[in-house]
Chains A and B, each alone.
Chain A
Amino acid sequence: MGMGDPGKGLLMRVKSTDGEILRLVASKIGGEVAVKLVSELKKRGRATEDDLAKNTNIKLNELRKTLFTLQKFSIITPEIVQDKGSGWMIFYWRLREDQLESIIRTQKRRVLEKLRERLEYEREHDFYVCVNPRCGVRYTFEEAMERMFRCSKCGSPLEHYDNTQIIAVLEDKIAKLEAEIKRE
């Protein structure tokens, strides 16, 4: 089955260099702000929050929020260094570019796990959908029964929903990811 792979088009547009991959990952995590921060950290090796704010013109609260999200996924790590002159502790952020591959591998495994769970849910349930095309809310059989086969949002009747295509999409993506994880 020839499922469309949205990643493929992107692959053709970008060169898969480490820098590009880092930019794509940062953009997914925190949009343009994260891309700016990661590029700045890549340039400087490590930097304090003040330095980052000065050089990127990002508001401090937004900057901190994005830095913590990047830290959550281990893209950056904090580094505390004692200043030799003043004895003060200086808090730096450092990019963990060497960890990028393993971070992506972990994400692939987690995404795979979520897709498997969704597939299990799709396989185990019978679905009903609101006939109103502007509404289109989907219910499980049990939920539809409780609502007497009427949409609780717009009151339209519900009809049986064939999720074969959804199952096929999930199976296809899972198979592709499994193969990729094995190869990498």
Chain B
Amino acid sequence: MPSRRGEDLEYKVFRMIKNRGDKGILQSQLWKRIKATSREGSRISLRLERAGLIERRRELHEGKWTYRLVAKKRAVNPLSILDLPCAFCPNQDKCGLGGPVSPASCPLLAQWVEKTAYEASKGKVKAEVDEELEA
């Protein structure tokens, strides 16, 4: 069973891999960063793989076979919701269909939906014009 320190290191390694997103990180580079031996490192990566947290992809790097470690789960990113009025809305608990505040009647959500629909249709028209010009 890994020690508490070992668990912390595993968590740290997992966070590092996760923060690299789709690119992942080469096993050999990662061990240099955390100053671990390749033996220690391999053990950690195997444990993470067995726990279903990462994927190890075999890769040839500078003439040597190594593994690229890629997290199965991505780092949580709030950017996709921050432009939406519902994210962190003070009325969130009261909001629901038929309630005093509702996603159906919310003026802020209506504004967002209409603006996004308008921008999308503008983008679509532009793409069509570009296609026609190219043709």
Contacts and interface: CB of A to CB of B under 8 A. Distances in A.
B60 to A, nearest CB: 28
B19 to A, nearest CB: 8
- Dominant secondary structure of chain A at its interface with chain B: helix
B78 A166 contact: no
Interface stretch (B1-9, B47-55, B61-69, B116-124): B116-124
Contacts of B90: 69, 72
A6 interface: yes
Interface stretch (A46-54, A86-94, A104-112, A145-153): A104-112
A121 B81 contact: no
B40 interface: no
Contact of A4 (B75, B82, B88, B120): B120
Interface residues of B, number: 36
Contact of A117 (B74, B75, B97, B119): B97
Contact of B80 (A1, A121, A170, A180): A180
A173 B83 CA distance: 12
Contact of A73 (B88, B103, B110): B88
A72 B104 CA distance: 24
B77 interface: yes
Contact of B117 (A5, A28, A168): A168
Interface residues of A, number: 46
B79 A4 contact: no
A118 B19 CA distance: 33
Interface string B99-120: 0001110000110011011011
A16 B76 CA distance: 10
Contact of A25 (B75, B78, B92): B78
Contacts of B76: 100-101, 104-105, 184
A32 interface: no
B127 interface: yes
A97 to B, nearest CB: 13
B73 A6 contact: no
A104 B86 CA distance: 12
A11 interface: yes
Given A2-B124, A69-B90, A7 B117 contact: no
A33 interface: no
A2 B123 contact: yes
A183 B86 CA distance: 21
Contact of A177 (B81, B83, B119, B127): B81
Q: Which 6 A-B pairs have the closest CB atoms?
A: A7-B79, A121-B104, A165-B117, A117-B103, A118-B103, A114-B86
